[in-house]
Structure 1
Amino acid sequence: MRDGRDLTPSRQIADSLRSDITSGRLPPGGRLPTVRDLADRFGVSRNTAAKAISVLKSEGLITARSGSGAYVRESHPIRRLGPDRYARHRWQATTVTAHATDRPDSETTQQQGGQQQEVSLVEADDLIAAVLGIDVGTLVYERARVMTRDGIPTHTMTSYYRREDVEGTPIVDPRPGIAGGGGGFAVLSERGLAPHEITEDLLARMPTAEEVLLLELPVGEPVVEVRRITRTADGKPIEYARGVHAGSRFVWSYTYPIPD
């Protein structure tokens, strides 16, 4: 195990600042010492002090404001996600419960949800075609949404549907807000395509440049991609969706019996 003597000066400064952040001595939103102040405190060059700041930026612990300096990254309320979020009684809900930390017993707050969407006809790629049981290149409806909580973007969700399943419904309405009075699942139910079963795959990765801008992500923050297939009770796939979630704002939580 390495001790501080094995670290470069910039790493030693970064470790010291990291300790201040994790201990709360530098609270969320707190301003870090300037590069000049760090150089004077640690007896190093400004270039070395700047490298220490860069280390913390790459870890996502701090953010830089042009002309103002570096600040400890603000913490965000964390939403816990599990199967219950798809419960029928939640389809009309526009508020969500978020936690102060990733602990389920932490203080909670209610956040107002919102969404913007773009709806278009696109050609089904290999995966969409396989999921929906159609030919590659068939036109399908794409409903691309950006979800917000109290006005802050938290994740995207892009859904794909067969044209005959959603043509003329609120699902293809591009106006802001949930589809119709109860969201997309309620609309599908009214069409005789009630959602019954969901398969989800989750994978963590670093965001694309577009996702960084769309979700206003700090440097170094990963995202969790969710791939969802929704089926009716008789097994018919009625939606394929891909979502991208800011890694620091969600916890996935599941309780289930252990299979034999």
Structure 2
Amino acid sequence: MKRLGTDRYAKNKWKSGLVAFAADREATGRAWTPGDQTNEVQLTEADAEVAAALHLSLGAPVYERARLVKEAGVPTHTLTSYYRPEDVKGTSLVDPTPGPAGQGGGFAILTARGLEPDTITETVHARMPTPGETELLQLPAGEPVMILYRTTSTKEGRPVEFARGVHAASRFTWSYTFKIPD
């Protein structure tokens, strides 16, 4: 799977109804169905990383939306997003129905609530998987995982989502294209 980097988040994609993981698949020439993504949603307490990313107090309530994404029945990665309750309560972002959270996914929902995503910071690193990750992602012995941390903010700098992903390293290519700053 080719992960499109910055292009996967293009506003024209999610504003026209395409979610990021579907954009990756389409760019790779692969099909997807809403059943390729599971959802588990719960109201929980912000741990230190979530609290720092969303500018909240440790233990503040947050919605956690955990997904397992598969391709042709094989798990490719997990992605768990965290949101302030006041930003997403009553939306499809807190609905556990499998698949994306509606047309355009979470970014379209946030935009409809006046919280349009404008800036994303991603940090990626590799490590060996935990035993639970090895089982969940059906990894062969010795395969590392790529860890993704993503913070999404509005134009005003207000963070509206923090996400942690665990990706099977052999199942992804990461590709970024961007304008070089002055």
Distance 1:82 1:204 in 2: 16
Where does structure 1 lack aligned partners over 5 or more consecutive residues?
A: 1-77, 100-108
Structure 2 equivalent of residue 221 of structure 1: 143
Structure 1 equivalent of residue 57 of structure 2: 135
Please, what TM-score do these two structures have when normalized by structure 2?
Answer: 0.89
Structure 2 equivalent of residue 84 of structure 1: 7
Give the counterpart letter for 1:248 in structure 2: S
Per-residue CA deviations over 1:195-247 (Å, capped at 9, x if unaligned) read 01000000100111111111111111111000000000111000000001110
Distance 1:256 1:98 in 2: 17
Q: Over alpha carbons, which structure has the higher Rg?
A: 1
* Map 1:100-139 → 2, pairs under 5 A: 109-113=29-33, 114-139=36-61
Task: Work out which structure has the larger RCO, using CA pairs closer than 8 Å and 6 or more positions apart in sequence.
Answer: 2
SS in 2 for 1:227: strand
Distance 1:119 1:259 in 2: 38
Distance 1:209 1:111 in 2: 30
What is the CA distance between 1:259 and its match in structure 2? 4.4
Please, what TM-score do these two structures have when normalized by structure 1?
Answer: 0.63
Per-residue CA deviations over 1:50-74 (Å, capped at 9, x if unaligned) read xxxxxxxxxxxxxxxxxxxxxxxxx
Give the counterpart letter for 2:87 in structure 1: D
What is the CA distance between 1:80 and its match in structure 2? 3.3
Percent of residue pairs identical: 56
Query: 4+ residue stretches of structure 1 with deviation over 3 A?
Result: 256-260
Distance 2:102 2:51 in 1: 26
Distance 1:121 1:175 in 2: 16
SS in 2 for 1:234: coil
**Match status 1:207 vs 2:129:** yes
Structure 1 equivalent of residue 162 of structure 2: 240
**Match status 1:167 vs 2:128:** no
**Cα root mean square deviation, aligned:** 1.6
Give the counterpart letter for 2:12 in structure 1: H
What is the CA distance between 1:258 and its match in structure 2? 4.2
What is the CA distance between 1:150 and its match in structure 2? 2.6
SS in 1 for 2:8: helix
